[in-house]
Amino acid sequence: MKLHNSYEIPAIGYGTWQTPNDETAIQGVTHALEVGYRHIDTAAVYGNESSIGKALQQNEIERSKLFVTSKVWNTERGYTKTKEAFEKSLKDLQLDYLDLYLIHWPAASHQFENWQEINLETWKAMEDLYNKGKIKAIGVSNFLPHHLEPLIAEAEVKPMVNQIEYHPGFRQQETVEFCQSKNIIVEGWSPLGTGKLLDNPILKKIASDYGKSVAQLCIRWALQNDIIPLPKSVTPHRIRENFEIDDFAISLEDMERINQMEYCGGSGLDPDKIDF
């Protein structure tokens, strides 16, 4: 897949939210690279960048073949702090550039009167780093259309990505359509609904018709909706399983059945209500 600045982004990413900063992260990333993932998604607030950095350092894949994403945390918003946060992530990851850097959550109206200004100041730092070549692509995460609109109106470099929660029963269709109409690639975090969808009877039935696991079905479904899924696992056989989704296609009818599913669990985090 290509971002709107023509930069290549691998269609599946390895998610690391809730992966501890120890051997678990080192082994998880190492195994993910072994089975073929080239896209690793992390964030300063996950606290695991130094272990991920070790894993990246130890492997022999050319840097240009890897795609590494991090995110600026909410306490580091604003021009100067964002730049400092970026440098810290870069150092912890032992890299000299990032492929993608995101604003982790929007500053929102329930938190700050000048929330639009705050997002814009953060964005200016991202644009500077992008213009200097220290980041190959920039974007946002958990932004809804009403957060994106004022940012896009003022931005010199338009966001290339919006990373949102995305799984069966939680498609965030309005946000997805808004982004797709503006050439913003949507990435999906927690494509398995943080694991809560794995026992869902509708998904279990459809998955068994294809001889696949529910996790594989959810990941394939996201891809067929043009979303980049970021499944998280620290378990070797699951890491592999989640990457083996190229040998089947979900029929239009089954896509529609999954698209129509009602909410059946997820993170419960709402950008217009959260307070962190």
**Residues sharing a CB contact under 8 Å with residue 217, sequence separation 6 or more, in sequence order:** 203, 206, 207, 210, 250, 258
Exposure string over 138-165, b if 16+ CB within 10 A, otherwise e: bbbbbbbeebbeebbeebebebbbbbbb
User: Binder to ligand A2P among 14, 85, 233, 271 (CB under 6 A)?
Assistant: 233
Asked if 43 interacts with ligand A2P (CB under 6 A), we say no
Report in angstroms how near the CB of residue 78 gets to ligand A2P at its nearest.
29
**138 bridge partner residues:** 101
Q: Which stretch in 104-112, 113-121, 235-243, 252-260 sits in contact with ligand A2P by CB under 6 A?
A: 235-243
| 263 labelled catalytic | no
Asked if 190 interacts with ligand A2P (CB under 6 A), we say yes
The active-site residue out of 46, 101, 130, 166 is: 46
> 137 phi and psi, to 5 degrees?
-155, 150
What is the SS3 assignment for 131?
Answer: helix
CB 67 within 8 A of CB 44: no
Q: Which stretch in 101-109, 142-150, 204-212, 230-238 sits in contact with ligand A2P by CB under 6 A?
A: 230-238
User: Binder to ligand A2P among 31, 77, 83, 232 (CB under 6 A)?
Assistant: 232
What DSSP element (H or E) covers 123? Answer: helix 115-131
Q: Which stretch in 96-104, 177-185, 204-212, 227-235 sits in contact with ligand A2P by CB under 6 A?
A: 227-235
Contact residues: ligand A2P, CB under 6 A: 15, 190-195, 198, 213, 215, 231-235, 238, 241-242
